Amino acid sequence: MKKQIERNGIQNKAAAPKERMANLELLRCVAMMMVAALHFLGKGGLLPDLTGSNLGSAGLAAWLLESFCIVAVDVYMFISGYFLTTSSFKLSRLLQLWLQIWSYSVVFGLLGAFTGVLREAAFDTHYLLTLLFPVTMEHYWFMTAYVFLYLLLPLAGIAVKKMTKRQLQLTIVLLLVFFCIGKSVLPVIFEKDAQGYDCLWYLCVFLTAACVRRFGAPFLEKKGRGLLLYAGSCLMIFAGTLLLRLVYLRTGRLEARLGMCMEYNHILPYLAAIGLFGAFARLRIQGKFAAIVNRVAPYTLGVYLLHENLGLRYSWQKWLGAERLAAVAAGGGNGFGAVGSLLLGTAAAVAVVFVCGILADMVRKWIFDRGHGIMLKVGPYRKLMEKIEKADAMFR
């Protein structure tokens, strides 16, 4: 059984920790494209109000696409947790991550403000503080959650490696009961429910990924189960949303919970993320395509940091034709033409955002590498790097 799981790529590949797994790197790229799609649909005004009497075929298509993409954030964190499980905390990695976030925050935040691109935000003291302190000011909420989770890695990583399978499984179940299952079955708003926009939820995802990495996932061993779990969960997200909408239209109640099935810490996106991960874990990607994927994947974070920057966050959708597509959806657009325009327009926008983000981060990486090489010739900087290396060694 264990050998079969190892062949499927779901078990720990400790023998080659530095070798990139092209199948999961491809999933990382797909997840980031899904994130861009979510932001194009939501911030571009392409999702008709669920309280409206007529969504139209284009509106239904938009919500269906939203249902299949809403797993993106959980998937991205699942991949990170899967690899972090066998990694040690590194101060150098934390600093590199912070500098990457800070550089995007300041550079593009100021560019957006000075060029007049900035929308939905005022250029004031709070805006400047958000640019200068992007993690603690939650410029990028996902990065705030990720950085805080990484800070917990010395504790969580060691705990995961010491726990037995049953201990880890019980811990995950208990966490899910409080942070996931309760809010998934009761259409009420819990005061402590952050809807998955916090570090605690991603600790749950991290532990799930750690369990899969250490002990395998028997359910996902059989071919097709992962894809079936993903597709089935996403269709249930869509159906559940329409059902809640129907209840609202007939009773006038549950308006605040119409989107509950699409919250990151709902059980359905959680299961869909596990299913999609399992489906990609079985893929075998080789040759030139694998090389391209492994080359591109490390820069995917730049896609997020670029298009979700406050200076650009509500502007790029307009540049890529969201207003035209939104007008069709808002008018109750029906027929294959309206649906086709929505899907093609969204796909084109996602492709542009993804390519621009990858190229931007390649340039950022080149600048950082050259700057680091030059600064190493400076004595104080070189000594600082030596101290950071010693700090890294403490956690190995």
| Pick from 68, 73, 30, 65: nearest CA to 351 | 30
User: How does pLDDT run across 73-119, given as a tens digit for each residue?
Assistant: 999 999 999 998 888 899 999 999 999 999 999 999 999 999 999 88
Number of structural domains (the chain) is 1
Interatomic CA distance for residues 35 and 273, integer angstroms: 13
Interatomic CA distance for residues 333 and 339, integer angstroms: 8
User: How does pLDDT run across 347-364, given as a tens digit for each residue?
Assistant: 999 999 999 999 999 999
Q: Classify residue 169 by burial, with Cβ atoms within 10 Å: 0-12, 13-18, 19+.
A: middle
Longest dimension (CA), the chain: 72
| Mean pLDDT on 21-41 | 96
User: How does pLDDT run across 126-184, given as a tens digit for each residue?
Assistant: 999 999 999 999 999 999 999 999 999 988 888 898 999 999 999 999 999 999 999 99
| Pick from 311, 301, 312, 302: nearest CA to 131 | 311
pLDDT at res. 16: 39
Domain range for 296? 2-394
Instruction: Provide the token pair at 264.
Output: 């990151």
Interatomic CA distance for residues 138 and 126, integer angstroms: 12
| Mean pLDDT on 282-288 | 91
- For Cα atoms 26, 29, 31, give the angle at the middle one, nearest 5 degrees: 110
Residue 145: C-alpha distances to residues 10, 27, 309, 359 (Å): 25, 21, 16, 25
Return all residues near 368 (Cβ < 8 A) that are at least 6 apart: 99, 100, 103
Cα Rg of the chain (Å, integer) = 22
Interatomic CA distance for residues 373 and 91, integer angstroms: 19
